Amino acid sequence: MQKTKIALFVSTLMLPPMMAWAEEIQSQTEDFSDDVLVLDEVLVKESSFSQQIGTQRLTEKDIAAMPSTNGNITDLLKNNVNVRFSSAGDNSTSGGEIKPNEVSFHGEQYYNNNFIVNGMSNNDNINPAAASSHYADTAPAGRNAYDLPAGGTQSFWINSKLVKSIEVFDSNISAEHGRFTGGVIDVALKDPDLEKHAGMVGYRVTSERLAKMHVDDNKRFEAATALNMQPKFTKQSFDLMLNQPLSDKAAIRFSYSRTASDIQYYHPTLQTYDMNRQLSGTGTFANIQRRSNENFMLNGIYLPDNGDLWRAAITYAPNKSKYYKQNVVNGAYTNVGGGFQFDLEWEKTFEKFKMKTKAGYKHSGNRIEHEEDHFYRYMAADYLDWMSQSGFAMFGGYGKNTSTTTDYLLKQKVELNEFDTGAISHHLKMGWEVKITQAENKRDNDTHSYYYKYANNVICNGAEQCIDYSQYAYNDQIFEARHKKVRDDAYAFFIEDRMNWKNLELITGLRADYNQFLGKLNFAHRLSASYDVFGDEKTRLFTGLNRYYANSMLTNKLRQGASDTLRVSRTLNEDGTLSEWGNAKYSYISRYDVSKLKNPYSDEIVGGIAQDIFGSLWTLKWVHRNSRKSFRSSYDVNDAGQSIRVYNNSGWSKSDSYSVEVEPKNSEHDFGIAKLKYTIGFSYQRSKRNYNYTETDDSTYEYMIYNDRLVPALGGAKPNDFANPWTVNATITTEFPKIRLTWGQSIRFVAGRKYIYTENGSGIQCNGSSTIAAYREACGDYVGQVQVYKDAYEGSHLLWDWKFSYQQPTIKGQYIQLDVDINNVLNRRAVAKSAGGNTVYKMGRNYYLGASYNW
């Protein structure tokens, strides 16, 4: 059976190029629709060949045929050979999650990509790393009172059904794009249709009954006593689209999409008492975790008689994730993200140049809303009808904490008509951008955490947080109301010239960026070239030399003071009364120094060859990235003798990526009964860095504990995520026009790897007898701070996904569409991550069932 599966996989990969060769020999006539031809022409003409080889382009038709899970933007990148996904995504234990997966390009940090939606930034740079860390699935932001709100790297979770096209840039990226060191994902949302009244209403569903979940400890998994243990879930999507032409020159379009998930959760030790004061038993107190994401979009298009083009769009995209603090009554809290965006675009064609102007407003952010404003840790008592754990009864939460960004954008791009200087032809474009941004974090009111102790002689006399002859709050931790603001205005200018001379094409570009947060002006060169060896577009050499500067990251500026805790206490007097609150002192004071930071950047070298073989384009590419001045931190003492975390630019990383991609030069092959489109890719990546995806600068440590032994610290280590060494990808779309059926396939083989990881970001202190007992033997006589590392691995796995779409006509051009997504068709038991004795697997075979009515 195993040999049969391997043979089937190999034959599937070999079939498309063989069919393409057969088609070329037989000289079959291509039959493309006009709209596909026009779109391809536009995409090709707007970039040079050396930039095209660093670009993945997906049309609306491509997107509709791709297998998907939650239907978000990064779902569509699974077959991009230059993209690496986190081991935390699409796992068997977390089937109810709907949040977009995170991606990394060429070994760069996943939070240093640039997501663009309708020409405006979709990056969430307030606290992107926290929401996507390895701990976020078990301890989401909000579990602690001092947590800064976090929503991930994308501020809007855009549903792919709203998308017209996507361009993904990984190398030789135009000077038009900046504020990233990873990749650029440029999303264009669908325009209204000027020609017809149209609409769609749809529904899609999956649940644990439609999925095979692979787990090691089935008893622990089925107990569902951790937020990321999700044996029971139901995930549903609703879609609505209405298109209305207003004239032959104007139209509007309204779209609504909602994805919601309900997830069963049980508190591990929370118990309730019945009327006979009998406890219900542990693991029986249930709540429903909830996730939701909504996209509202109203957009219009207008084509005046003078040939201009006007676009306007209003987007509202909120998302919510409801969690529960473990064993706490009324301990629910909700992370609310997303926001509102308005953008206006004007395109004007003059005699000698084209101009595109974009203006926009965006308000987005993340908010933590607790069910209660204050937290109480009571002592268990007869008059309380619950017990959280032995001896305690916990209740409440931490109020509301909000982080927001407000952007005002104005940018313009000008493209000159092609002109010649001697034998050299030029295609020059330039542009500028002004973005006014204010970010802020606000806690509305003081939030208190009260800790009680027994006292059967306490007399309250009206004192708050006191129960006569039973217990009283002896300690109060106060997180005070706060309002922190920071400006992050950004200014940019770019110029780029595409020059052609004989068989040589050369791109020279320069981008200037100024960022108010860091107060630095940066210049980034963008140089790339291609050479058509024989002048017949069969064999081309290409190269590139580029620099990319990272976006600002506001986390540490807004976090200033967020974890400051005012502690007060009181005691029981001899007569049973309580003293006044006193002994006030601050603890966990957070002080950060970002005054000496510079912008991180990544230098890139690109080289390769593209060859036409039997009507298919084979591209061999090498990309080297050398990232410098990445943000790290270490602890110091300021002039007042206070501990302070000083941020520096001591981080670095290096990566080399080698890839081979095969795709037909034409968009698809027509064999009469079927139309075929395919891409095949292979990539190998190696990378190392002097840090992982944490803020602690572990490169400053002289020693580390590895597998219970004290050894010299590593000067550079493999990343702990997003670093699978090699992958093989294939996308195959087969359309059967006569029976109105489309079959999309996504095939990915991902190689496993070994690496080391740490569970304690700040390390431990070796200090003789004062050392933590578990590490005392390893530390020996050494005195100093060390990191503790252990072995971990990710398993190799083959994932094969299918999507079937069938259309059944009804009346007057209307039709019903039925969709079935089958992910992990072979139901492979794929190890996502194994560390510390725990193994997590990728989701087994799972089905998404969808139906829509279209008119």
Q: pLDDT tens digits, residue range 748-801?
A: 999 999 988 876 666 788 988 888 888 999 999 999 888 888 889 999 999 999
What pLDDT is recorded for position 33? 37
Structure tokens at 382: 């007869």
Residue 656's contacts (CB-CB under 8 Å, 6 or more residues apart) are 622, 623, 624, 625, 685, 686, 687
- Higher-confidence residue of 411 and 640: namely 411
**Given a cut of 90, is residue 702 above it in pLDDT?**
no
Radius of gyration of the chain (CA): 29
**Given a cut of 70, is residue 7 above it in pLDDT?**
no
Residue 62 phi/psi, 5-degree rounding, is -60, -45
What pLDDT is recorded for position 755? 87
Mean pLDDT along residues 447-467: 97
Q: How many domains does the chain have?
A: 1
What pLDDT is recorded for position 28? 36
77 closest CA partner among 115, 51, 44: 115
Q: Which residues, in sequence order, are bridge partners of residue 189?
A: 163
**Given a cut of 60, is residue 130 above it in pLDDT?**
yes
**Given a cut of 80, is residue 235 above it in pLDDT?**
yes
**DSSP string for 252-309:** EEEEEEEEEEEEEEE-SS-EEB-TTS-B--TT--EEEEEEEEEEEEEEEEE--TTS-E
What pLDDT is recorded for position 678? 94
Please provide the size of the chain in residues: 855
Mean pLDDT along residues 690-705: 63
Q: Is 131 helix (H, G, I), strand (E, B) or coil?
A: helix
What pLDDT is recorded for position 604? 98
- Higher-confidence residue of 7 and 246: namely 246
Residue 4's pLDDT band (boundaries 50, 70, 90)?
very low
Structure tokens at 799: 């994932």
Contact 343, 301 (CB under 8 A): no
Q: For 351-356, which contacts have Cβ atoms below 8 Å and span 24 or more sequence positions?
A: 352/416, 352/417, 353/414, 353/415, 353/416, 353/417, 354/414, 354/415, 355/412, 355/413, 355/414, 355/415, 356/412, 356/413, 356/414
What pLDDT is recorded for position 18? 41
Contact 235, 207 (CB under 8 A): yes
User: Residue 284 falls within a domain, yes or no?
Assistant: no
Contact 604, 548 (CB under 8 A): yes
Rounded CA gap, 490 and 484, in Å?
20
Residue 132's contacts (CB-CB under 8 Å, 6 or more residues apart) are 86, 88, 102, 110, 111, 152, 153
Torsion of CA 681, 686, 692, 698, to 10 degrees: -170
158 closest CA partner among 279, 328, 318, 347: 318
Determine the structural domain holding residue 543 and report its residue range. 2-279+289-854
21 to each of 14, 25, 536, how far by Cα in Å?
11, 6, 19
User: Residue 200 falls within a domain, yes or no?
Assistant: yes
Rounded CA gap, 168 and 186, in Å?
6
Rounded CA gap, 323 and 371, in Å?
10
Rounded CA gap, 71 and 766, in Å?
48
Contact 297, 307 (CB under 8 A): no
846 closest CA partner among 290, 322, 230: 230
Using CA of residue 647, residue 649, residue 654, residue 655, what is the dihedral sign? Answer: positive
What pLDDT is recorded for position 125? 86
- Higher-confidence residue of 651 and 454: namely 454
Please state the separation of Cα 92 from the chain's center in Å: 19
Helix %, strand %, coil % of the chain (to 5)? 10, 55, 35
Torsion of CA 110, 112, 113, 117, to 10 degrees: 120
pLDDT tens-digit readout, 157-176: 999 999 999 999 999 999 99
171 closest CA partner among 604, 726, 599: 604
Q: Which range (30-39, 631-640, 680-689, 715-724) has the least confidence? A: 30-39
**Given a cut of 80, is residue 177 above it in pLDDT?**
yes
Q: Which range (249-258, 447-456, 583-592) has the least confidence? A: 583-592
Amino acid at 341: Q
pTM of the model: 0.90
827 to each of 727, 747, 752, how far by Cα in Å?
19, 13, 18
HEC states along 446-496? CEEEEEEEECCCCCCCCCCCEECCCEEEEEEEEECCEEEEEECCEEEEEEE
| Pairing outcome for strands 375-379 and 198-207 | unpaired
Contact 89, 101 (CB under 8 A): yes
pLDDT tens-digit readout, 269-308: 999 988 878 888 888 899 999 999 999 999 999 999 999 9
User: Residue 642 falls within a domain, yes or no?
Assistant: yes
Rounded CA gap, 675 and 222, in Å?
45
Amino acid at 542: F
**Given a cut of 70, is residue 15 above it in pLDDT?**
no
DSSP state of 381: -
User: Residue 600 falls within a domain, yes or no?
Assistant: yes
User: Residue 65 falls within a domain, yes or no?
Assistant: yes
Rounded CA gap, 182 and 223, in Å?
39
What pLDDT is recorded for position 88? 87
User: Residue 274 falls within a domain, yes or no?
Assistant: yes
Mean pLDDT of the chain: 90
Q: Which residue in this structure is represented by tokens 């384009």?
A: 617
Q: Which residue in this structure is represented by tokens 């779109």?
A: 39
What pLDDT is recorded for position 131? 58
| CATH number for 354 | 2.40.170.20
**Given a cut of 90, is residue 811 above it in pLDDT?**
yes
pLDDT tens-digit readout, 564-591: 899 999 999 999 999 999 999 987 666 7
Amino acid at 236: Q
What pLDDT is recorded for position 761? 60
**Given a cut of 80, is residue 114 above it in pLDDT?**
yes
What pLDDT is recorded for position 64? 96
What pLDDT is recorded for position 556? 73
Within 13 A of 265's CA, how many CA atoms are on the CB side? Answer: 24
What pLDDT is recorded for position 304? 96
**Given a cut of 90, is residue 42 above it in pLDDT?**
no
What pLDDT is recorded for position 824? 98
pLDDT tens-digit readout, 315-329: 999 999 999 999 999
- Higher-confidence residue of 650 and 191: namely 191
Please state the separation of Cα 391 from the chain's center in Å: 41
**Given a cut of 50, is residue 117 above it in pLDDT?**
yes
What pLDDT is recorded for position 634? 73
